[in-house]
Amino acid sequence: MKVLLIGNGAREHAIAERLAHDCDLYAIMSKKNPAIAQLSKEYWICDIENPEAILKAISGKSFDLGFSSPDATLAAGVSDALASTGMLVASPSKAASRIEWDKSYMRNLLKKYNVKGSPKYELVHTEAEALRVIKDYDSVAIKPLGLTGGKGVKVTGDHFTEISDGLDYAKSLLRKDGIALIEEKLVGEEFTLQVFCDGSRINIMPPVQDHKRAFEQDKGPNTGGMGSYSSGELLPFLTKKDMEDATKIMQSTVHALKKDGALFKGVLYGQFMVGRDGPKVIEFNARFGDPEAMNVLFLLQDSLTNTFLSIADGHLISTRFSSDCTVVKYLVPDGYPDKPVKDAEVVVDAHGLEKVRANVYYASVYESNGKILTTGSRAFGIIGRGETLEQAEKIAEEGCKHIKGPVWHRSDIGTSEFVATKIARMQKIRDKP
């Protein structure tokens, strides 16, 4: 089977690795990811957010199945363009992926079809409206409606403390977009639940906790994600009831999209905050998370090619995952995220990684004259797997030592000490009268 993959980050490397097990893989990338190129029978370089450029690149070629991965490609309608050539497509249409690229649509969809899990929110169009909501809610999350790479949200207590500072950010969004989303601040622990979906049915993947803050102990500015961990069917701070409630929300959202005329076929990602009252929806993504894709795909026990085919056919097959634990740590360029070093050479010690049983996924790097160079964004995802979280974390941490160059990582992700703080924090929230 000939499968076409769109994208060139670490997430796409993880997808490519699984697809290449049992299909002939072809790829379209914005820059040459050397690992994906090596896995592919053939690849093309073009603007992957331009459907016309993609169709031009593959003109005269035929493929059985297509999968467009990055969020901006889905928002640009790349899945629709692939479908127009007659191939089966396992990634969502532009209309279905609107649940990610338009936060107002997402919130209004959940409200319209009575899907549980939304916080209080208001869409504001004026400075006066924004000021009223910020004062009324006391603690808020202020969000732009569109795609921001995980870096556009500002929250009371995390990014600002004064009402005036929150209002300034809301005003900047109003100047830019004419509208802003203001929600009540959710308190608890975040987690990600991803599902395969054929438009009606879902198969859940192991839950994952991502860490967006740049620095140790969840300090510093938001990033696309500095690393993540999974620990089987539950995360250490989750209950079975939390997972059941989150799963129901995911299934209800899929049904809501179907009723709304936006049949969702692909991978749906729910980001949740679990607190005293159970899980609440922070946002949905219309694709695998990055880095969460690495955690779950490393544990998938079935064929990803066949799973994608069943999604495209509208008859989702069952999928099984190992109960092992995984830890992903992202290596990022020196100076990241504010002033990252660009075009710097990095060297991957494949033998050293193999010796410590760690795997590497190539992210925002590119190959030039046989050298691997940084782009200024996250460079490599290093993953460890073990029967326990402690084992998985140790492997990932050792693996990070085998990438040489001007890069660094958060060493606390997945450690017993750091996870214990999350368990204790969650217990305190649950016990609060």
Q: Which residues of 284-320 are buried (b: 16+ CB within 10 A; e: fewer)?
A: bbbbbbbbbbbbbbbbbeebbbebbbbbbeeebbebe
Whether 100 is in a domain gets the answer: no
- Assess whether 271 and 242 both reside in one domain: yes
Number of domains in the chain: 3
Residue with tokens 């504001």: 124
Q: How confident is the model at residue 318 (pLDDT cuts 50, 70, 90)?
A: very high
Backbone φ, ψ for residue 267 (5° rounding):
-110, 120
Whether 108 is in a domain gets the answer: no
The per-residue pLDDT of the chain, averaged, comes to 96
Q: What's 96-146 look like in SS3?
A: CCHHHHCHHHHHHHHHHCCCCCCCCEEEECCHHHHHHHHHHHCCEEEECCC
- Assess whether 217 and 308 both reside in one domain: yes
**pLDDT tens per residue across span 331-378:** 999 999 999 999 999 999 999 999 999 999 999 999 889 999 999 999
Whether 428 is in a domain gets the answer: no
CA 71/CA 311 separation, integer angstroms = 18
Span 167-186, mean pLDDT? 94
Please spell the DSSP secondary structure of 377-405, one letter per residue.
Answer: S--EEEEEEESSHHHHHHHHHHHHTTEES
Q: How confident is the model at residue 159 (pLDDT cuts 50, 70, 90)?
A: confident
Domain boundary among 184, 209, 239: 184
- Assess whether 241 and 358 both reside in one domain: yes
**pLDDT for res 330:** 98
Whether 423 is in a domain gets the answer: no
Domain boundary among 159, 184, 209: 184
- Assess whether 161 and 236 both reside in one domain: no
- Assess whether 300 and 237 both reside in one domain: yes
**pLDDT for res 348:** 97
- Assess whether 28 and 89 both reside in one domain: yes
**pLDDT tens per residue across span 43-60:** 999 999 999 999 999 999
Q: How confident is the model at residue 151 (pLDDT cuts 50, 70, 90)?
A: confident
Tell me, what CATH number does 130's domain have?
Answer: 3.30.1490.20
Q: Which residues pair with 27 in a beta bridge?
A: 5, 43
- Assess whether 198 and 275 both reside in one domain: yes
Q: How confident is the model at residue 262 (pLDDT cuts 50, 70, 90)?
A: very high
pLDDT at 409 over 90: yes
- Assess whether 160 and 294 both reside in one domain: no
- Assess whether 193 and 309 both reside in one domain: yes
Whether 101 is in a domain gets the answer: no
More confident residue, 295 or 369: 295
Whether 169 is in a domain gets the answer: yes
Domain boundary among 129, 150, 184: 184
**pLDDT for res 353:** 98
pLDDT at 382 over 80: yes
Q: How confident is the model at residue 148 (pLDDT cuts 50, 70, 90)?
A: confident
DSSP 41: S
**pLDDT for res 79:** 98
**pLDDT for res 199:** 98
Interaxial angle between packed helices 240-259 and 103-112, expressed in degrees from 0 to 180 and rounded to the nearest 10 = 100
Q: How confident is the model at residue 149 (pLDDT cuts 50, 70, 90)?
A: confident
Cβ neighbours of residue 330 closer than 8 Å, sequence gap 6 or more = 10, 225, 226, 227, 291, 363, 378, 379, 380, 381, 382, 409, 410
- Assess whether 180 and 193 both reside in one domain: no
**pLDDT tens per residue across span 104-118:** 999 999 999 999 999
Whether 431 is in a domain gets the answer: no
**pLDDT for res 350:** 96
- Assess whether 56 and 80 both reside in one domain: yes
Tell me, what CATH number does 63's domain have?
Answer: 3.40.50.20
- Assess whether 135 and 275 both reside in one domain: no
Tell me, what CATH number does 403's domain have?
Answer: 3.30.470.20
What is the domain extent for residue 10?
Answer: 2-93
pLDDT at 92 over 80: yes
Whether 111 is in a domain gets the answer: no
